[in-house]
Amino acid sequence: MIKIVELDDALIPQAEKLVNSVFREQDLEERLSFWVYKNRNKFWMKAALKLYGTMEYCKYWVAINEAGEIVGTTGLYSVKKDIHEAIWLSWFCVNPNCRGQGIGKQLIEFSIDMARSYGKKYLRLYTSDDPNEVEAQFLYEKYGFKETEREVYKAWTLIYREKVL
């Protein structure tokens, strides 16, 4: 049994460690996302985010097992370019040692429910063809995320998907 809770500052190091182990290729913005999240309520961070037009909204949650360990993460964020129509899935992952236990299913259903509460038309995400993300591809397809675009990026091909909410 897992519980899904909002990410707080005390849990950030453990969540970041999991995300970094699952997503091996990250750009600078991605690598800094938890630091940004930790500083999200500071005036200077709010101003910087608004100025650069990146995350207008961002919130993370973690799945915690009975031993108190983070076994999965998920998040939602919005960006200026499509803020009126979409919200984006962020850092959706399950610890590879805990896969096949229904944690991903719980996290994706939670994420979809949260996304619907924002009244947007789409829930969008990007993933990759990294072999570490194969199981997530099946889950996205099962939950109605349709592929919309592919883009070569570093060692991987990014796969963009969206789900009508």
Per-residue pLDDT tens digits for 93-115: 999 999 999 999 999 999 999 99
| Level-2 CATH architecture, domain 3-164 | 3-Layer(aba) Sandwich (3.40)
pLDDT, the chain, mean: 87
Report pLDDT for 80.
80
Residue-range domain boundaries for the chain:
3-164
d(CA 94, CA 15): 11
Q: How far is CA 156 from CA 26, 92, 114, 131, 153, in A?
A: 11, 17, 29, 10, 5
Whether the pLDDT of residue 55 is over 60: the answer is: no
